[in-house]
């Protein structure tokens, strides 16, 4: 494992190694045991999409590991003024020990890794969100004690979260069911992987998808950059909501997960959100621990 570009690139064993290290780092932090695994190393954080959790968790994570992080918005870089990504990759590789990028096109992340000589971490693209889903898998395992055989359900937009949850869940032996409107299905390459890999169901019926689910995931109906489509999407996703009626068909002790930010009253009711807030904010916290594990895994090799 040289980069974290997408979960499709990782084996089950590589994902498991990250999750185990994340658990260890979380335990050590809770017991005030500090190891400066990345002392003297610097992570460059390129943001072409803004973020709360991604920026704070990576910056704090690097600090806890003894390193430092540089916030680089597209306004701060020549990449925002048309410098080819391959040139940016080669220049930053001379200065930094790793790059985290949060952007639109998956190809930009792939190109950074191809032309640079340091680890590249995908902090989010329109195609996938591997860091979030590593934290999600970590959280499910904390609460359920295992991943193998767990029934995972995702409701809503077949977006980057859906793509990564499908891949991550199936690679870890989960049974994955997804409900999306026909026009908003996950990426075809992900669906092809899913049909070949494991127990996977794609439907437009949220109750069929959620039946017997041990954990239910959702995301906002209009992601960053799709604000102009918000009205159209509200109509398309009407009914794709986590509410008490839906939870009645799930397993008795069903978990609810949301990558945040949440739009209460749309993809999830305010009451369900608050009833499962402990699990949801465990999930948010675990971004820190999972990403620290990724950075240690990638950046201690150099």
Catalytic residues: 102, 129, 132, 219, 259, 287
189 is in an annotated binding site: no
Hey, how many other C-beta atoms are within 10 angstroms of the C-beta on 101?
Answer: 26
CA-based Rg of the chain, rounded to a whole angstrom? 19
User: Could you give the C-alpha distances from 219 to 93, 158, 180, 258, 266, in angstroms and in order?
Assistant: 34, 10, 12, 6, 10
> Side by side, which strands form the sheet with 215-218?
200-203, 175-179, 151-155, 215-218, 255-258
129 is in an annotated binding site: yes
160 is in an annotated binding site: yes
Rounded Cα distance between 153 and 166, Å, is 9
180 is in an annotated binding site: no
Rounded Cα distance between 223 and 237, Å, is 13
Maximum distance among all Cα pairs of the chain, rounded to whole angstroms: 55
102 is in an annotated binding site: yes
88 is in an annotated binding site: no
117 is in an annotated binding site: no
260 is in an annotated binding site: yes
For residue 1, give both structure tokens.
């494992």
Backbone angles phi, psi at 114, to 5 degrees: -70, -40
Q: In this structure, what DSSP letter does residue 128 have?
A: -
253 is in an annotated binding site: no
Binding site residues for L-ornithine, as ranges?
Answer: 160, 219, 223-224
> Which residues are part of a known binding site for carbamoyl phosphate?
51-54, 78, 102, 129-132, 259-260, 287
Residues of each annotated binding site: 51-54, 78, 102, 129-132, 160, 219, 223-224, 259-260, 287
């Amino acid at each position: 494992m040289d980069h974290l570009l997408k979960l499709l690139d990782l084996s089950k064993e590589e994902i498991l190694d990250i999750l185990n290290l994340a658990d260890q780092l979380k335990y050590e932090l809770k017991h005030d045991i500090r190891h400066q695994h990345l002392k003297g190393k610097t992570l460059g954080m390129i943001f072409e999409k803004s973020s709360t959790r991604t920026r704070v968790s990576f910056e704090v994570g690097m600090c806890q590991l003894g390193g430092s992080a540089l916030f680089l918005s597209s306004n701060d870089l020549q990449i925002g003024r048309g410098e080819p990504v391959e040139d940016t990759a080669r220049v930053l590789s001379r200065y930094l020990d790793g790059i985290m990028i949060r952007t639109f096109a998956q190809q930009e992340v792939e190109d950074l890794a191809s032309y640079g000589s340091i680890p590249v971490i995908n902090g989010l693209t329109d195609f996938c969100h591997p860091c979030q889903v590593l934290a999600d898998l970590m959280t499910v395992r904390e609460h359920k004690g295992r991943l193998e055989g767990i029934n995972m359900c995702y409701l809503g937009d077949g977006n980057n979260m859906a793509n990564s949850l499908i891949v991550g869940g199936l690679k870890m032996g989960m049974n994955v069911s997804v409900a999306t409107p026909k026009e908003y299905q996950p990426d075809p390459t992900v669906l092809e992987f899913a049909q070949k890999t494991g127990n996977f169901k794609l439907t437009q019926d949220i109750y069929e998808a959620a039946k017997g689910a041990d954990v239910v995931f959702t995301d906002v109906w209009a992601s960053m950059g799709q604000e102009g489509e918000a009205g159209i999407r509200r109509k398309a996703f009407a009914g794709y909501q986590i509410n008490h009626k839906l939870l009645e068909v799930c397993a008795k002790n069903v978990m609810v997960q949301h990558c945040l930010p949440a739009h209460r009253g749309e993809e999830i009711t305010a009451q369900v959100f608050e009833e499962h807030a402990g699990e949801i904010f465990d999930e948010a916290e675990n971004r820190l621990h999972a990403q620290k594990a990724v950075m240690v895994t990638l950046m201690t090799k150099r």
